[in-house]
Amino acid sequence: MSQETAFPRSDDSHPSRQLFIASNRLPVHIQKSSDEGIDVSLSSGGLVAGLREIHKNVPFNWLGYGAFPDLNKDQHSDLLEKLRSQRLIPVDIEEKQYKKYYRGMSNQTIWPLFHYFISEFQFSLANWTAYEQVNQQFAEEICKLANDDDMVWVHDYHLMLLPKFLKKLNPSLSIAYFHHIPFPSSDIFRILPSRVSILEGLLECDLIGFHSFDFARHFLSSVARVLGHDIVVDDIYQKHRITKVGVFPLGPNFKTISEHVQKLNESGQHSKMTDAIGTEYLFLGVDRLDYTKGIPERILAFREFLKGHPEFCGKVSLVQLCVPTRANIKAYDTLKSEVERLVSEVNGTFGRPGYTPIHYLYQNLPMDEVIALYKAADVAIVTPLRDGMNLVAKEFVASRDDKKGVLILSEFAGASVEMGEALWVNPYDIRDMAKKMFLGLTMPEKEQQKRMLVLRERARLNDNIVWSKNFMETWNKTSDLNRNRTSPLTGGRRSEIIEEIIKGKKIFIFSDNDGTLTPIRQSPEQAIPEEKTRQLISRIGRYPDVVFTLVTGRPREYCDTYFKDLPINIFAEHGSFFKDPLNPSWKSMLSPDEFATLKDEILPLIQSFVKTVPGSHIELKSTSIVWHYRKADPHFAENQAKALIASLQQLLQNTAYVPYSGKKIVEVRHRLANKGRSLEYVLKQFGWQEQDSILTIGDDITDEDMYRIRPEKNISIHVGQPHFKAKHYLYSTDDVSVFFEDLENALADC
């Protein structure tokens, strides 16, 4: 796979679209050189490792904060020129404001909360204000450069408000976001006072990416509980867009690592490193010095290992590389002191002349030296207490071209989902970690190779290039769907559609009721159509060339009460029953006998869920049963709905009945009772021809069956928000009334 095609600048239909990357910092280290010049070097880190190779080969603009040392005017000009030559654009943020935004809101509020360290969580209104202001500043800098329809890829928790600010400044931008740290469960997330603003900021994106299904599920759950949006699988339905949530595990920079490994093989540096350490075996830990990484627990486990296996004293060392981070913050200073104390304690207890149990390195090492450590290690220990991904695990595997070595991996690292061949541990279980250290150190070489072969091949096939390619492909598709799939029927566009409808020799209109003609209420019995709506339908239905059909899930009794004597066709219970103006008696389209037999089996199951979910209730119809949970707690009820559907699928697997999920409902009905089949029946019965018009209008999943019939002729309208399967949308039932009034006026003028 060529890197030129791995990260396309734009989709094929918009070759001129620019791409912008936005991250907290620019991916560079900037410092003065000895000759008063400026040195600019690429930095390390998960995000940079994922995009570095792509940035070299495919040009795009990267914006981020640049922490510049004190520079004179000439040095500053020289620096800006060097950055621009690499398409790197610094966002100039005042130092005090950056401190509140970065050290305050980002790393004393969001970081600990999202990693479940509630004891370290702090919230300050001043820090939150700075966070808002910096996100706004990023948006303004991007919009100075971006044109309509350009693409902006926002990275990580520092910039979760940026998508919303960008959309306010330029609504035509296509925006995606990738979350590189864990996303917590909704119970934890809801602790955040600014939770609504954070979610609303992210939901202006076309695509939101996570490293694991757990994080994506937690995010969707938070959206449901905090904002109450409708969610179908991984699509979040809003008034103005659909936001897709996807899972894209970041892979290692396999190509660059392989190049380093080849040089190391030629130089033998990793062997020299092993000789310098002076022990037969080597454990390795590589981490930023952060309280989420589980470094004290790892040292305690190593101590437990040496206590339990004294035969390895003098034969095995632990090299613990700690990369400095976030200095002068109390929690990190405390952690550093604790780690150094534990290292001293273990070395003092088990050390002897010529043997140092723990080699503690508090420094940044060049990439080639880190890879030399990976190659020298017998066992890599990657045991964070909570981590979004942790590329160290994948980099270790990518470095082991000898197919040897063992990986001990925390089950709480995002990488664990893809690395089942590693030795999984709970990093809080010190004894079990010590056992896994012994198991890893004594694992036969054949078993090591068996596991490592699989891990390496998976890392090779799913590297950082594949990660970015998969993300971009999904983003392009989602962006196109949001941009092209549907248009709001306002102003001139509404007039154009109505003109297109009335051109038909005959006009076939198919409309849902609840949520379309009649506003949705807390209980279905309250969903009563207004008299003006009934009269409007009646007037439209009386035009000789109009065939108006109401297709509703409501029972026959409801239809007889509220739509009696109207000159329209009516399908009740999603097409189970039908009547037309000339034959006012209901015609059964499906036999109710099978349902009568099944009802006694289905009803007790659903009743058990009514008892479990307060606020839910059952609606019993002639040919279906509906479980309503609009009044229930949305998060709990949605989970129970999934459980109910799974139980019903098993119960009904040998029948013609199927459970369906709708807007706050689960309904059991015949698989042939769908609105698309009803539409086809009317078209056939009333002699539809190619020169006729079809209008379908609805508001939920059941109406999708209408939208898909004869799509080339079907003018489909969804109510409430844009919809993938409808060509147009209206915002509310009030808009539907206005639309039908305009249609009536156009018919009168014909």
Other CB atoms within a 10 A radius of the CB of residue 89 amount to: 21
Q: Is 619 helix (H, G, I), strand (E, B) or coil?
A: strand
How big is the chain by its Cα radius of gyration, in Å?
A: 31
**Antiparallel, parallel or unpaired: β 617-620 and 625-628:** antiparallel
Q: Integer distance in angstroms from the first to the last C-alpha of the chain? A: 60
Residue of 463, 512, 514, 700 marked catalytic: 512
Which amino acid is residue 149, in one-letter code?
D
Which residue reads 């089996």 in tokens? 601
480 catalytic? Reply is no
Which residues are CB-contacts of 695 (< 8 A; sequence separation ≥ 6)? 501, 507, 508, 509, 510, 714, 715, 717
Measured distance CA(250)–CA(594) in Å, rounded: 51
Measured distance CA(287)–CA(416) in Å, rounded: 16
Tokens of residue 720, six digits: 């409430």
Tokens of residue 338, six digits: 């604790």
Sign of dihedral through CA atoms 734, 739, 740, 746? Answer: positive
> Exposed/middle/buried for 123, CB within 10 Å: 0-12, 13-18, 19+?
middle
* Cα dihedral: 419, 420, 421, 422 (round 10): 70
User: DSSP string covering 89-134, please?
Assistant: EEE---HHHHHIIIIIIIIIIIHHHHTT-GGG----HHHHHHHHHH
**Residue 455 near residue 421, CB atoms below 8 Å:** yes
Residues in the chain: 750
> Exposed/middle/buried for 354, CB within 10 Å: 0-12, 13-18, 19+?
exposed
Q: Is 31 helix (H, G, I), strand (E, B) or coil?
A: strand
**Residue 98 near residue 104, CB atoms below 8 Å:** no
Which strands sit side by side in the sheet containing 242-247, from one edge to the other? 88-91, 61-65, 19-25, 151-155, 174-178, 207-210, 242-247, 235-237, 230-232
**Residue 728 near residue 489, CB atoms below 8 Å:** yes
Active site residues: 512
